[in-house]
Structure 1
């Protein structure tokens, strides 16, 4: 992957880069997997008979059981300290907020992922993104990083390396590559590193 080059024009900035064929294939595969995870979560929501009448969609009221999806769709509210009434009020608030907002959050994540898939060069090579496409890339790559980081159990202190014989060693390299891809694009979006 090359660094991103920002080109400012009359119709707004454009962002240019290039991916090797294997990078484009890997990125497409990861983002497609993310879409599958989001679709599975969305399809597990209970049927809401009032949605057709009110136009208000609702989603799951319970948090995901899978750690990866918990990271992508975290609780909305965490009490600052133990509440004297117990955890019931926080769970009730999270349940209501999740039910109301999770469909929109999934839609936004899906839209960013689909936009990335529509703009990634299928066989690699040079490509150019609009500002909106670049922001979608940042969002979709971040979601993939969150999912992969959860699977690798990456915390604030690493790990920076895994032993070669570790079954996830190659995945850590992919996580780090995604981090660099995202960081360079964010810097370009902010107007730096031209």
Structure 2
């Protein structure tokens, strides 16, 4: 994969992905969507019309227990402002989750519109992804979320490259770290393509 580039004439952002790469991106995006639809953030249905009217304002009030969700939705206020953080989260987290979920779904939709089969195939194929600027910006946000999620799961820290490069090739943590780096590469080339 050569990364994302801006097409000279159409000004669209383009990339050619192998079928494996495209399927991996789709799988990561689908896993993120599943994680974001944590039941704690979804308001319960109510028969009371007044409760339904204010359902958008009845989100979660505490930091998620899952470390990935806590990283994606950190407290907006310091530790000494617990009530303000809870109130802010109550009004924003559900909407933020929906936005992140839609961004991840855009990756899936774009890949499938570019020809990625809905079911994995043994056939060798390449996927030519082409998107306009606004869609590329959505991809940028989703790639950021995917990278944050994977980095949090792996407990990646600044300056720990020697640890990751010392792992044997067959270590699943090392393989997952390669995916983390690949997502960073995709992010970097997408930024360059968007600003070119």
TM-score (norm 2): 0.82
Measured in 2, the distance between the counterparts of 1:35 and 1:67 equals 16
- Find the residue that maps to 1:18 and give its secondary structure: strand
Measured in 1, the distance between the counterparts of 2:87 and 2:143 equals 29
Q: Which residue of 2 aligns with 1:112?
A: 103
Are the counterparts in 2 of residues 19 and 126 from structure 1 also a CA contact under 8 Å? yes
* Distance apart, 1:3 and its partner CA: 2.5
Residues 1:95 and 2:86 aligned together? yes
- Find the residue that maps to 1:151 and give its secondary structure: helix
The structure richer in helix per residue is: 2
Matched pairs, number: 180
What CA RMSD, in Å, does the superposition of the two structures yield over aligned residues? 2.2
CA 41–140 in structure 1, closer or farther in 2 if over 3 Å, else same: farther
Residues 1:189 and 2:194 aligned together? yes
Superposition map of 1:104-183 within 5 A: 104-120=95-111, 121=114, 122=116, 124-159=126-161, 160-164=164-168, 166-183=171-188
- Find the residue that maps to 2:130 and give its secondary structure: strand
Residues 1:16 and 2:20 aligned together? no
Are the counterparts in 2 of residues 7 and 14 from structure 1 also a CA contact under 8 Å? yes
Are the counterparts in 2 of residues 58 and 101 from structure 1 also a CA contact under 8 Å? no
Measured in 1, the distance between the counterparts of 2:32 and 2:70 equals 13
Are the counterparts in 2 of residues 162 and 172 from structure 1 also a CA contact under 8 Å? no
